[in-house]
């Protein structure tokens, strides 16, 4: 079975020869630790792990090629350091937010998932109705810079691919938070629901128009919605607000995607998502991740409750991987065999792999996954 077919069937409850082996990705500080523990310079971490386990990397994944699509603002704001004092940078980032970060890092850490860093947000670009009108001008869905030039040629080239193509976009909550800031957005839902609805509709229409430009030529295998909207124990807004402001956006996007038989609609949200999964299922979303255990998510219980209405990617407690030994094994065996028996699951670390996970524990964990998913 080729990687593309295997991935789709694994998450949509089909029969597979193996389950994709995707233990999770380390951040910069994790890789620095692993280099100190023996990961050779210039060697990729998975290349090294596969070699240690005797797995041919070419059997897990091969060369892939995608196509270019850009949902970000055009033009971006100028990135610049406004102030540097007391061990911190205050920066205007490319989204127009004023952000503070330790000078242990350069300012590119602010908007990129290079590492696990703490940031402080001072202000956001949309503060009033005039700012909002100006912001809209940065999102012309027909701007030629948003897409690969010759979509017809690219589409024909990719039609017989054996690897998956993923298109990722910010969900309406995530995007509105980037414009307004978290607290301001939550208050907007209460104080000016009309403006909140206008912003959600604008984002819906913008993304939909860009989608309609490429879908006739290139149909992705995965449409991933980035929508971090939950704290450790609860969602950030109520279920009624989610249904009122966000669900109509999801439904319109998914209706369009289904016209082109896009098989996987993947919702990516950190935090406790137990209150949100039913709404996502209603909307047509069929996969979610990363299912963080520390946020009181129990993927085994979710499967019992929602059955084959939802597939999952993730779900293995990073803290157990860090502990290693029997704790690691118990966590993997708690999660993986029950879900693999039913399908609709690719096991992985429940977020980015943090630096408290040693190289040897990561190898032990990957070896256990490989044995359970058919690679060893």
- pLDDT tens figures, 271-312: 999 999 999 999 999 999 999 999 999 999 999 999 999 999
Distance CA 236, CA 184 (A): 13
184 Cβ contact list (under 8 Å, min separation 6): 124, 127
Which DSSP helix (H) or strand (E) runs through 80? strand 80-85
Tell me the pLDDT tens digit for each residue of 94-134.
Answer: 999 999 999 988 877 777 778 888 889 999 999 999 999 99
pLDDT at 262 over 80: yes
Distance CA 107, CA 110 (A): 6
- Cα–Cα distances (Å) from 313 to 183, 266, 268, 274, 349, in that order, read 29, 9, 9, 15, 9
Task: Return phi, psi of residue 296, to 5°.
Answer: 70, 20
Q: What pLDDT shows up at residue 121?
A: 92
Cβ distance 88 to 103 under 8 Å? yes
Q: Identify the DSSP state of 315.
A: E
**Helical pair 28-36 and 359-373, crossing angle rounded to 10 deg:** 100
Sign of the Cα torsion 285, 374, 54, 39 reads: positive
317 Cβ contact list (under 8 Å, min separation 6): 293, 294, 331, 350
3-state secondary structure of 311: strand
Q: Kindly state the tokens that stand for 327.
A: 């704790």
Q: Kindly state the tokens that stand for 229.
A: 């909207």
Q: What pLDDT shows up at residue 61?
A: 79
Tell me the pLDDT tens digit for each residue of 136-161.
Answer: 999 999 999 999 889 999 999 999 99
Compute the chain's Rg from CA coordinates.
Answer: 21
Task: Return phi, psi of residue 316, to 5°.
Answer: -105, 125
Distance CA 97, CA 151 (A): 33
Q: How far is CA 13 from the centre of its chain?
A: 21
CATH 3.20.20.210 domain extents, the chain: 3-72+126-373
Tell me the pLDDT tens digit for each residue of 316-342.
Answer: 999 999 999 999 999 999 999 999 999
Q: What is the dihedral of CA 361, 53, 47, 291, to 10 degrees?
A: -50
Distance CA 204, CA 251 (A): 10
Tell me the pLDDT tens digit for each residue of 152-209.
Answer: 999 999 999 999 999 999 999 999 999 999 999 999 999 999 999 999 999 999 999 9
Top-confidence residue, 62 or 87: 87
Order of strands, sheet of 80-85, starting from the edge strand that comes earlier in the sequence:
80-85, 88-92, 98-102, 119-123
Q: For the domain with range 3-72+126-373, which CATH number is right: 1.20.1260.10, 3.90.220.20, 3.30.300.280, 3.20.20.210?
A: 3.20.20.210
- pTM of the entire structure? 0.95
Total count of residues recorded for the chain = 376
């Amino acid at each position: 079975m080729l990687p593309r077919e295997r991935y789709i069937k694994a998450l949509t409850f089909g029969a597979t020869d193996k389950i994709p082996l995707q233990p999770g990705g380390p951040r910069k500080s994790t890789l620095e630790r692993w280099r100190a523990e023996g990961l050779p310079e210039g060697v990729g971490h998975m290349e090294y792990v596969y070699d240690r386990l005797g797995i041919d990397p070419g059997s897990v994944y091969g060369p892939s090629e995608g196509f270019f699509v850009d949902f970000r603002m055009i033009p971006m704001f100028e990135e610049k350091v406004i102030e540097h004092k007391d061990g911190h940078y205050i920066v205007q980032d490319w989204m127009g937010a004023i952000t503070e970060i330790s000078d242990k890092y350069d300012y590119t850490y602010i908007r990129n998932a290079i590492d696990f860093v703490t940031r402080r947000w001072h202000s956001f670009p949309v503060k009033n109705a005039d700012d909002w009108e100006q912001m809209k001008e940065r999102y012309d869905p027909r701007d030629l810079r948003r897409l690969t030039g010759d979509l017809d040629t690219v589409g024909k080239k990719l039609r017989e691919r054996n690897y998956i193509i993923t298109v990722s976009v910010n969900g309406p909550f995530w995007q509105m938070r980037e414009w307004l800031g978290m607290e301001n957005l939550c208050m907007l839902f209460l104080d000016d629901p009309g403006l909140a609805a206008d912003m959600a509709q604008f984002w819906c229409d913008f993304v939909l128009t860009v989608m309609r430009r490429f879908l006739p030529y290139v149909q992705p295998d995965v449409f991933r919605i980035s929508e971090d909207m939950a704290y450790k124990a609860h969602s950030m807004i109520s279920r009624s607000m989610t249904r009122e402001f966000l669900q109509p956006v999801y439904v319109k996007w998914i209706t369009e995607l289904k016209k082109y038989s896009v098989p996987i609609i993947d919702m990516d949200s950190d935090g406790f998502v137990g209150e949100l999964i039913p709404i996502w299922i209603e909307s047509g979303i069929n996969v979610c991740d990363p299912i963080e255990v520390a946020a009181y998510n129990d993927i085994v219980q979710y499967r019992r409750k929602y059955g084959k209405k939802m597939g999952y990617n993730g779900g293995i407690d990073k803290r157990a991987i860090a502990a290693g030994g029997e704790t690691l094994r118990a966590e993997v065996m708690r999660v993986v065999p029950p879900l693999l028996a039913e399908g609709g699951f690719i096991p992985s670390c429940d977020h980015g792999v943090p630096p408290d996970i040693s190289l040897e524990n990561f190898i032990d964990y990957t070896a256990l996954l490989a044995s359970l998913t058919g690679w060893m």
